[in-house]
């Protein structure tokens, strides 16, 4: 199979860890979500986002498995694929060095993923920088550093180079079954010692702590293997989606900003009763419902979104300031000041001064408008995050 090169994305989603992958443009279907947002049709936006994520999930991702020679990298790849060493499609394993050049493998458990079995770093005298260049680290989306027996200086050098590239990596300790059978320590203490040793060696070189998994290549269902697979599934989704979804969120922010600007002009120039379609533009509770509807975050809309996302509506309303006028006043001291009993009494007192009342009314409406717009941004952020990681709602 010919090697494929993927240009890395430099951007990262604001609410997930920084990742890089190969996708230079958003799928065309995402354009429909922009139109839906402009029209305040949040459910249509959700459909478009899900379709966008489904398209992004087809992007190929390279995973490099690397480490020192003899650490069990090929055996780990077989175990991750849940395939026996004797099967034709398995990676060759043995006591002596079996991987001389880069070899690629696929797995039905990880569609559109290429697992690269790299030659061990310690097998040659080359520097880790030359090794990274020869192995084409720049084409990789995620690294798995394999270790056993000891976490050597080579492992630390690999971690340092990968971190300097801004790439995601794991450390996987592969021969836990052997360690447990030969150690006089309890299992809990042994696991703690191994992890502490890895942390200490990385911290000396100022490498941020990566996810660490303790596994046995002999049994792909024991120890941290299930956790490793779950983490990998989530990270693959983030690797593929984070850059494009960040771009999409930036577009959404601009659309909301444009909508706020338009409505601020209406508040300044037009009759609010006509613009909002209400009988009394001083009825802030009723006006709040209209503003929420304009931005597509009415109670009915949020209920439809939650049902489509497979969760409860409170997942989207829990952190909303604009659930109702009471929560809005409680969460925002400026609006509370504008709508408190004393200010309302003064407002009624100055009814005879239209200019004063009109100015004060516009201030209240603009504040409410901004708060609803911010709630809309937060809800959109959650929709994008949950679409990229659908299992998040199940945890």
CATH code that applies to domain 61-235: 3.40.50.300
Please give the pLDDT value at position 12.
Answer: 35
The dihedral over CA atoms of 214, 217, 218, 223, expressed in degrees to the nearest 10, equals 20
The whole-angstrom separation of Cα 141 and Cα 117 is 14
Helix (H) / strand (E) element for 335: namely: helix 333-339
113-117 and 103-105 as β-strands: parallel, antiparallel, unpaired? antiparallel
DSSP sequence for 300-329: HHHHHHHHHHTS-THHHHTT-GGGSHHHHH
Please give the pLDDT value at position 379.
Answer: 96
Q: Each residue's pLDDT tens digit in the chain (395 positions)?
A: 333 332 333 333 333 333 444 444 455 667 889 999 999 999 999 999 998 888 888 889 999 999 888 788 888 998 888 876 665 556 656 544 445 678 889 888 899 999 999 988 866 567 889 999 989 999 999 999 999 888 988 999 999 999 999 999 999 999 898 888 888 889 899 999 999 999 999 999 999 989 999 998 888 888 999 999 999 998 998 888 888 888 899 999 999 999 999 999 988 887 777 778 877 777 888 989 999 999 999 999 999 999 999 999 999 998 899 998 888 888 877 877 777 665 666 555 556 555 656 677 788 889 989 999 999 999 999 999 998 876 544 33
Please give the pLDDT value at position 275.
Answer: 78
Q: Could you give the residue range(s) of every CATH 3.40.50.300 domain in the chain? A: 61-235
Whether the predicted model's global pTM rises above the 0.85 cut: no
**Residue 62, class by beta-carbon neighbours within 10 Å (0-12 exposed, 13-18 middle, 19+ buried)?**
buried
């Amino acid at each position: 199979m010919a090697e494929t090169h993927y240009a890395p994305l430099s951007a990262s989603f604001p609410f997930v860890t920084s990742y890089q992958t190969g996708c230079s443009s958003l799928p065309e279907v995402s354009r429909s979500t922009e139109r839906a947002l402009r029209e305040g049709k949040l459910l249509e936006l959700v459909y478009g986002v899900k379709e966008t994520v489904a398209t992004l999930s087809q992007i190929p991702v390279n995973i490099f498995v690397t480490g020192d020679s003899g650490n069990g990298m090929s055996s780990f790849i077989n175990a991750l694929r849940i395939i026996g060493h004797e099967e034709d499609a398995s990676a060759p394993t043995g006591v002596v060095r079996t991987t001389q050049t880069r070899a690629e493998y696929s797995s039905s458990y990880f569609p559109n993923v290429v697992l690269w079995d790299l030659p061990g770093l310690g097998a040659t005298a080359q520097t880790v920088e030359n090794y990274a260049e020869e192995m084409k680290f720049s084409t990789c989306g995620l690294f798995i550093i394999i270790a056993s027996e000891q976490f050597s200086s080579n492992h630390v050098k690999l971690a340092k180079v990968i971190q300097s590239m801004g790439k995601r990596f794991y450390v996987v300790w592969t021969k836990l079954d052997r360690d447990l059978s030969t150690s006089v320590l309890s299992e809990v203490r042994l696991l703690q010692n191994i992890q502490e040793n890895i942390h200490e060696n990385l911290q000396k070189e100022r490498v941020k702590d990566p996810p660490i998994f303790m596994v046995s290549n002999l049994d792909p269902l024991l120890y941290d293997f299930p956790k490793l697979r779950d983490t990998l599934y989530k990270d693959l989704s983030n690797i593929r989606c984070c850059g494009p979804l960040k771009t999409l969120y930036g577009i959404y922010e601009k659309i909301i900003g444009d909508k706020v600007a338009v409505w601020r002009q209406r508040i300044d120039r037009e009759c609010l009763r006509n613009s909002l379609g209400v009988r009394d533009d001083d009825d802030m509770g009723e006006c709040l419902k209209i503003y929420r509807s304009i931005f597509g975050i009415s109670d009915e809309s949020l209920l439809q979104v939650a049902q489509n996302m497979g969760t409860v509506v409170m997942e989207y309303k829990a952190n909303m300031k604009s659930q109702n006028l009471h929560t809005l006043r409680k969460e925002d001291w400026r609006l509370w000041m504008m709508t408190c009993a004393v200010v309302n009494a003064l407002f009624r007192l100055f009814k005879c001064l239209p200019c004063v009342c009109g100015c004060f009314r516009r201030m209240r409406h603009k504040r409410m408008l901004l708060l609803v717009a911010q709630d809309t941004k937060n809800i959109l952020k959650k929709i994008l995050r949950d679409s990229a990681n659908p299992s998040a709602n199940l945890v």
